[in-house]
C-alpha cells in the first residue's frame, strides 16, 4: 500500500498531467506554425503523442533526431534552438 506521501504525490501528478500535455501541445503547434512560415509548402510536419509517458518533445528531420527535450535540449524556446532546426531542414532539403 502506498504511503500517504506517495499517494499525495500521485494525486498532484495526476492533476498536473493535463497541464503538462497542454503545454507540450501548444509548444508543438507554435513550432509547427513557425516552421511552416519559414518553409511555406515545403514541409510535412506531424506530431505524435506518447500516452504512456510524458516529457518527450523531439524533432526528427529526414530520419535524424536533431532536438530532444529528454536529451537536454528543452523546448524549442529560443532563437538559437529554432535556427538549429532551420539549418537541419535546409541541409535535408538540399540533399533532396
Dump the DSSP string for 20-89: HHHHHHHHHHHHHHHHHHHSTTT--------TT-----EEEETTEEEEEIIIII-SS-SHHHHHHHHHHH
CATH T-level fold of 4-95: Glutaredoxin (3.40.30)
Query: pLDDT value at position 19?
Result: 47
Query: pLDDT value at position 3?
Result: 60
Whole-prediction pTM: 0.69
Query: pLDDT value at position 26?
Result: 63
10-residue mean pLDDT series, the chain (96 residues) = 60 54 69 91 83 77 89 90 93 88
Structural domain boundaries in the chain: 4-95
Amino acid at each position: 500500500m502506498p504511503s500517504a506521501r506517495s499517494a499525495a504525490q500521485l494525486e498532484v501528478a495526476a492533476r498536473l498531467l493535463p497541464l503538462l500535455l497542454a503545454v507540450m501541445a501548444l509548444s508543438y503547434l507554435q513550432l509547427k506554425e513557425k516552421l511552416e512560415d519559414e518553409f511555406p509548402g515545403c514541409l510535412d510536419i506531424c506530431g505524435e503523442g506518447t500516452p504512456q509517458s510524458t516529457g518527450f518533445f523531439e524533432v526528427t528531420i529526414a530520419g535524424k533526431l536533431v532536438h530532444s527535450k529528454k536529451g537536454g535540449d528543452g523546448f524549442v524556446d529560443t532563437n538559437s534552438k529554432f535556427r538549429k532546426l532551420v539549418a537541419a531542414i535546409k541541409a535535408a532539403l538540399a540533399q533532396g
